[in-house]
Structure 1
Amino acid sequence: MDTNTPQNEDPDIPHIRFLRGLVTVLAGVMILGLLVLIVLIVIRFRTPPLPAFPALPAAIALPDGADAQAVTAGPGWYLVVTQDGRALVYASDGKLVSDTALDLP
């Protein structure tokens, strides 16, 4: 009798077929996931980058000698952090609302 040939009565054959099917499905899901990641990366790099420093609206005039270090905006206001450590809050019409000194490192 040939011992290398599997017997049809072997009870493990259905389990091995099931396991083979699971491995095939897993490989397909992994390939699909890799393709999705590649597509997302390509889409992300096609969008133009944000500007390095947002421009201030024309209505905002900084005090003499003040240079903007950071700018952020909210609904109806702009916040400008200056090089000399002040936080200037402006209304949307360009009027200075608040001038606060900051302790910057």
Structure 2
Amino acid sequence: MADNSHEQPVDAGTVKYLRILVTVLTATMILGFIVIVVLFVIRFSDAFGPKLPDVITLPDGTTPTAFTKGADWYAVVTSDDRILIFDLDSGVLRQTLQVE
């Protein structure tokens, strides 16, 4: 059987050029992946919830049932249907509301 395929010799310059292109593409993809991971870490590093006070001192005999936070205040809803509004920085009780 005669082999009719006419294989042309591969140019060494073309192979070297393709090898450089593949290496540059690989490096670009690795660098892009690292940039994406870094951006995710920077973007979501503060997404673990709001800043909450360390200690909340409630009046005697109250049981908290809910909590909410505003810009410079936070509120605690108690089991006896009161809303206690505290200052965020100092923790001082600002206002008490009775829910009817």
Q: Shorter-chain TM-score: what band?
A: 0.3 to 0.5
TM-score normalised by length of structure 1: 0.43
